[in-house]
Amino acid sequence: MPQTRILIAPNAFKHSLNALDAALAIQEGFQQSTLDCTCECFPIGDGGDGTGELMIRKHNGQRVSAEVDDPFGRKITASFGLVAKGKTAIIEMASASGLHLVDPSELNPLRATSFGTGELIKLALDMGVTQLVLAIGGSATVDGGTGILRALGIRFLDASGNDLTEPGRFTEITTIDVSKLEPRVFTCDISILCDVDNTLLGDQGSAAVFGPQKGATPEAVQTLDAGLATLANVAQSLTGIDMAAVKHGGAAGGVSAGLYTFLKAKLINGIEFFLDFTRFDEALADADLVITGEGSIDEQTLHGKGPYGVAFRAKAKNLPVIGLAGKIPLDQHDGLGKYFDMLLAIGNGPTDLPTALTNTRQNLIRTAQQLGNLLKTRQ
């Protein structure tokens, strides 16, 4: 019997393992099994934290570091990648404006801004890039992208002409001054990788859905939503674009809506762009079996998440797909069954969440080993 060629393409397991470490754990499990197989690790990202790093690595990109502001204006060193002979910059929003930069006790989206990410964009423009790819997962901000826009020259003013920088005061915005906006942004192709469909405002908007995980209290969520609504109203009177109606606009605290409105950025499905950019289909051509996964696989996965993107392409080539996750639905309805031949929960019996997160690596190794042994009996 010929060796089984396995393509291992997981997303990150949030709060536990990054995509590369998840892939290596799965590979280790298969290598410990009795299955005669070869494995190729192809960790994926759909716009979430770590996506940019994977793309830079896949293209052997050049790292550029710079001193910029963190979400609260403190100086830190952040970086981005240059690929395509220096013409494309891949910027990970989390590098300058990420949750991981802030102690949990400090989290405060009423004050946090994306200004540091804007500084990285400006530096990339200074280096002559013609394409910007922005992965926006893992940010600590709900500022509608105003921090980025301020770094590029836009001013958000109150009735007295004072600059407003903190999202907690955005209900005071009366004027937006774009006269000093960096003109080079319009000669640059800007793509924002999105993994959620949320719009800017309301119960499914950026403040309500993403604010609490960035430290927002219920009162703060209301303040942020009202501020973003004011921002959207003033922006519409200036640009004619309704920020609140933009699909994907709520991603990363409204960064997508802000950059779409003022910079003409393209909001694109993160996993589709990633798989094209990293030439995933070439790896798929050599595979007999595809393994993917992330922390949870459920109906939401079918709305553009990483494992769905992998499974969709694999199924187009009639390849079997197995999904591994910490959590899977008891009722695997037709939607999931169309793309996943098998979904496996990696936990070894009921447990609490902190324990499950701690044991993700070992659980992936064990599950892949058991799966390999099962596949051996069918080989």
Query: Measuring CA to CA, how many Å separate 216 from each of 104, 165, 169, 319?
Result: 11, 17, 15, 44
For the entire predicted model, the pTM comes to: 0.90
Residue pair 324/10 in contact by the 8 Å Cβ criterion: yes
232/136 Cα distance (integer angstroms): 20
Residue pair 11/326 in contact by the 8 Å Cβ criterion: no
The structure tokens listed for 335 are 């939607």
At residue 291, φ and ψ (nearest 5 deg) are -115, 130
pLDDT, one tens digit for every residue, the chain (379 residues): 678 999 999 999 988 899 999 999 999 999 999 999 999 999 999 888 889 999 999 999 999 999 999 999 999 999 999 999 999 999 999 999 999 999 999 999 999 999 999 999 999 999 999 999 999 989 999 999 999 999 999 999 999 999 999 999 999 999 999 999 999 999 999 999 987 788 999 999 999 999 999 999 999 999 999 999 999 999 999 999 999 999 999 989 999 999 999 999 999 989 999 999 999 999 999 999 999 999 988 887 887 789 999 999 999 999 999 999 988 877 666 688 889 999 998 987 667 677 777 889 999 999 999 999 998 887 6
- Where do the domains of the chain lie, and which CATH numbers do they carry? 4-44+281-378 (3.40.50.10350), 51-271 (3.90.1510.10)
Q: What is the pLDDT of residue 304?
A: 79
What is the per-residue DSSP string for 200-212?
A: SSSTTSHHHHHTG
Query: Measuring CA to CA, how many Å separate 135 from each of 177, 181, 270?
Result: 27, 22, 8
Q: What is the pLDDT of residue 47?
A: 87
88: closest CA among 57, 59, 52, 131? 131
Q: What is the pLDDT of residue 49?
A: 81
Q: Scan for tokens 């013609």, then name that residue.
A: 130
Q: What is the pLDDT of residue 331?
A: 67
39: closest CA among 7, 61, 68? 7
Query: Measuring CA to CA, how many Å separate 67 from each of 29, 91, 96, 238, 267?
Result: 41, 14, 9, 33, 27
At residue 256, φ and ψ (nearest 5 deg) are -60, -45
Task: Indicate the residue type of 142.
Answer: V
Task: Give the three-state DSSP class for 158.
Answer: coil
196: closest CA among 294, 300, 100? 300
